[in-house]
Structure 1
Amino acid sequence: MLLEDRVRHKEVIPIRMEHDFVETNGIKLHVIKAGPTEGPLVILLHGFPEFWYGWNHQIDELAQAGYCVWVPDQRGYNLSEKPKGLGAYSIDHLAADVIGLIDAAGRQKAVIVGHDWGAAVAWWTAATYPDRLERMVVINVPHPTVMKRFVSRDKGQMLRSWYIGFFQLPWLPETLFRVGNWYAPARTLRSTSRRGTFTEADIQLYKEAWGQPRAFRAMVNWYRAALRRAPKRSAKARITVPTLLIWGVRDQFLKREMAQPSIDLCENGQLIFHEKATHWVHHEEPKQVNAELIRFINS
């Protein structure tokens, strides 16, 4: 039984979902589809170390609101294709995957919502393909220009980003995590979120996704490519796509001071802080986040 079928059977997501494999940018991505096919297209982009299930609190409400919701396992994750080589995970390819999904849906434009690495992909897509996006929502990740400035100059952010350096080591991170039965990423999810956010059932689903052949190496390759494979597409720092930035203030990875400078680089931007939430705000405060998403998309 496919993972998404088991999740539905457990009533974690009480909605009818369709699983599909969609060709985009020369690879196949596993995509969960929900909601009316004629509705406005909304693409949800997960981050590290999640997969499509990271949006399990959002899929139902967005579909119920009339949106055609597509939720991919991004390249290298879970059931999606896992191309070899660092170059396959450059930010240019990741953004092109999104454009390919929009094309595959038969649309000219879409709303994209991204968290963590998915938010980084969303920022880059908006910067390089602004004519293909209706709106963008990013969660707990700053504009790439702001991120680069803080990581290189702010000591506090340097300390929070230590794991990026660890992930540059060849083969060791993924080997240690696998040998340890995924204890480290599971513990990270739980220790950096509010108590009870990720249940044991959730962790088991994540472990199965991490254990897919070659998956965790591909996931770590996103970080390696970020430092070693510079983007080739030219991007404007100024974001013209209407943007909503949602930020959980108690994020242990990224400082809140990066949020306002990011919105300052948007021609039409809004910023919402969740004072008691962490990096995993869409898991911790789903009803409020969902209401903000729907209100912004409809505005």
Structure 2
Amino acid sequence: MRPDRLTVLEHLGLTFDVTDAGPVDGPPAVLLHGFPEDRSSWDAVSSCLHAAGLRTLAPDQRGYSPGARPAGTAAYRLEHLVGDVLALIDAAGVEQVHLVGHDWGGAVAWLTAAHHPDRVASLTVLSTPHPAALSRSMRHVDQLGRSWYIAAFQVPFLPERVFAAGFRSLLVGSGLPLEVAERHATRLARPEALRGPINWYRAMRSSDLPARRVTVPATYVWGSRDVALGRRAAELTREHVTGPYEFVELDASHWLPETEPDACAAAIVRRVSSV
């Protein structure tokens, strides 16, 4: 067993911070965090995965790593985010990984598995429905109401200032534990620190990566008390997966890695063991 250690990924002139931990010869799992988190959101889940024999690689993604905050919205298009994942897989020296994602990391995981199934042995996504299922659910008032912040983030410059000031209370109100919310709010307290993460939302419309069906074995874990992502998108996700599929519903909020680490780890291990 190797201790947690910080390593870096150099990709396209950007430097990504990555925690590489667990058995050096264990099946590799790449863990992609969401907004507004960082790689520390996986700490409790990772401990369980290491006990099950998995090696984990958890990066601070584009816009979150201090050395990987390119200027301009175009740098955060989905194709670039997927490219970062492929670069990490290459840097790990493996052909395939078990890919895991939460929130925005889940969206990137769905797209990586759909477009590059040869690099993904299995997929486990927490909270985030398949992108096509989410798009379909936007035709209904419930999901539109839940997604109000996406439209708010399209405004230039102002959201960084407004959200930096009131981030902690918003996160706690959505179900994130207070101590975790305070950590993220402190890290993103300056507008310039929030610009990269918010640019993920701004780049959505200009991205050139269609939401294809997923053929690799996949598990989707959803919390029934998720304030951002409703039931309709969760249930529609099955129609966009053609490979072996498991849907796990938890009585939980959006923040599954932090609040339900044992259940999340169990779902990941079950999926990994199935292939």
TM-score range normalised by the length of the shorter chain:
over 0.9
Whether the aligned pair in 1 keeps the contact of 2:8 and 2:18 (CA below 8 Å) is yes
Corresponding position: 1:240 with 2:215: yes
Paired position in structure 2 for 1:37:
24
Corresponding position: 1:217 with 2:217: no
Choose between structure 1 and 2 for higher RCO, CA contacts under 8 A separated by at least 6 residues: 2
* TM superposition score normalised by structure 2: 0.93
Paired position in structure 2 for 1:5:
none
DSSP-derived class of the 1:57 partner: helix
Unaligned runs of 5+ in 2: none
| C-alpha RMSD of matched pairs (Å) | 1.8
Separation in 2 of the partners of 1:71 and 1:291? Answer: 18
Paired position in structure 2 for 1:226:
204
Whether the aligned pair in 1 keeps the contact of 2:15 and 2:65 (CA below 8 Å) is no
Corresponding position: 1:167 with 2:149: no
Change (3 A) 1:145 1:82: same
Q: Deviations over 1:226-279 (max 9, x none)?
A: 12x121x4x4622101100001011111111212221222122110101x2011
Q: Deviations over 1:92-144 (max 9, x none)?
A: 00011001000000011101110100000001111111111000001111111
Paired position in structure 2 for 1:198:
177
Paired position in structure 2 for 1:9:
none
Change (3 A) 1:111 1:26: farther
Q: Counterpart amino acid of 2:52?
A: A
Unaligned runs of 5+ in 1: 1-14
Paired position in structure 1 for 2:56:
69
Corresponding position: 1:272 with 2:254: no
Matches within 5 A, 1:255-270: 255-267=230-242, 268-270=244-246
Whether the aligned pair in 1 keeps the contact of 2:109 and 2:125 (CA below 8 Å) is yes
DSSP-derived class of the 2:37 partner: coil
Q: Deviations over 1:168-199 (max 9, x none)?
A: 01000112233x2xxx2222221111xxx524
Separation in 2 of the partners of 1:213 and 1:59? Answer: 30
* TM superposition score normalised by structure 1: 0.86
Separation in 2 of the partners of 1:204 and 1:188? Answer: 11
1:35 is displaced (CA, Å) by: 0.7
State, as a whole percentage, how many aligned pairs show the same letter: 38
Paired position in structure 1 for 2:185:
207
Whether the aligned pair in 1 keeps the contact of 2:168 and 2:182 (CA below 8 Å) is no
- Paired residue for 1:297, among 245, 260, 272? 272
Q: Counterpart amino acid of 1:277?
A: A
Whether the aligned pair in 1 keeps the contact of 2:115 and 2:212 (CA below 8 Å) is no
Corresponding position: 1:127 with 2:114: yes
Whether the aligned pair in 2 keeps the contact of 1:51 and 1:209 (CA below 8 Å) is no
Corresponding position: 1:92 with 2:79: yes
Separation in 2 of the partners of 1:270 and 1:88? Answer: 33
DSSP-derived class of the 1:17 partner: strand
Separation in 2 of the partners of 1:191 and 1:204? Answer: 12
Q: Counterpart amino acid of 1:163?
A: Y
Change (3 A) 1:90 1:120: same
